[in-house]
Amino acid sequence: MSSQEKSHERINQKRRTRAELLRATWAMMEKGLQPSVAEVADHTGISRATAYRYFSKPEDLWREAALDAIAIRIGEAGPDAPDQAATPEQRIETLAGQVFDMVAGNEAMFRTFLASSLTATGAAKRGGRRIGWLTAALEPLRSQLTPAEFQRLIQGLSLTLGIEALIVFRDICELTTEEARSATIWSALAILRGALADGKS
């Protein structure tokens, strides 16, 4: 085996070790546990010294495990590509509904990730996928709005996509899941219509 092949194999082994630690952590978290790095290492059969080289604090391990699980679910059930024949309102209504269903269907996972990200000491980036989905859905409007208006529209709509909106409607407004879905779509459409009205004025 050449040195390049050995280097490639070491990288792959590190990825496998990290993935195994994250999978084990999430499996334990789904049972209501908040495992230490040592406990996850013991569970996987990976040495504690190795596990600590990947994650020095349990909070980092929990956050990354939740993020990894969410990324897998999103990859499996992300929103459909925008319908090229649909109007912007139809696109946003479809997108908001699909994302809400995805979040509501994995509510415990998203709540776990939100809680871990709020207590994390690092600056973990989260929620970036919704920006891409919104930009793709509203691309036909780019020529009708200034760059600043288009960006502000995407930013405003990002508030309606994700676990945050579900928590507000369910926990604070005390809506049922179906009522929360309807309120989410209504909010997204209201923001879109408001931005279009401002753009015409």
Each residue's pLDDT tens digit, 143-200: 889 999 999 999 999 999 988 999 999 999 999 999 999 999 999 999 999 999 886 7
pLDDT digits (tens, 9 = 90+) for 65-103: 877 776 676 655 567 777 888 899 999 999 999 889 988
Indicate the number of domains in the chain.
2
Answer yes or no: do 156 and 185 share one domain: yes
Q: What is the pLDDT of residue 172?
A: 97
Answer yes or no: do 82 and 124 share one domain: yes
Q: What is the pLDDT of residue 95?
A: 92
pTM over 0.85: no
Answer yes or no: do 11 and 79 share one domain: no
The tokens for 131 are 């920006």
Residue at which a domain ends, from 10, 28, 56: 56
Phi, psi angles (nearest 5°) of residue 2: -75, 165
In a domain, 65, yes or no: no
Answer yes or no: do 40 and 131 share one domain: no
Helix crossing, 147-158 with 177-200: angle to 10°? 170
146 three-state secondary structure: coil
Answer yes or no: do 39 and 80 share one domain: no
In a domain, 77, yes or no: yes
Answer yes or no: do 195 and 115 share one domain: yes
Answer yes or no: do 97 and 181 share one domain: yes
Q: What is the pLDDT of residue 71?
A: 67
Task: Please check the confidence at residue 123 and state whether its pLDDT lies above 50.
Answer: no
Answer yes or no: do 99 and 192 share one domain: yes
The answer to whether 22 touches 65, Cβ cutoff 8 Å, is yes
Q: Which has the higher per-residue pLDDT, 141 or 84?
A: 141
* Domain containing residue 86: CATH number: 1.10.357
The answer to whether 157 touches 92, Cβ cutoff 8 Å, is yes
Q: What is the pLDDT of residue 80?
A: 74
The answer to whether 145 touches 112, Cβ cutoff 8 Å, is no
The answer to whether 111 touches 167, Cβ cutoff 8 Å, is yes
The parent domain of residue 119 ranges over 70-200
Binning pLDDT at 50, 70 and 90, where does residue 32 land? confident
Q: What is the pLDDT of residue 170?
A: 95
Answer yes or no: do 108 and 140 share one domain: yes
Answer yes or no: do 154 and 76 share one domain: yes
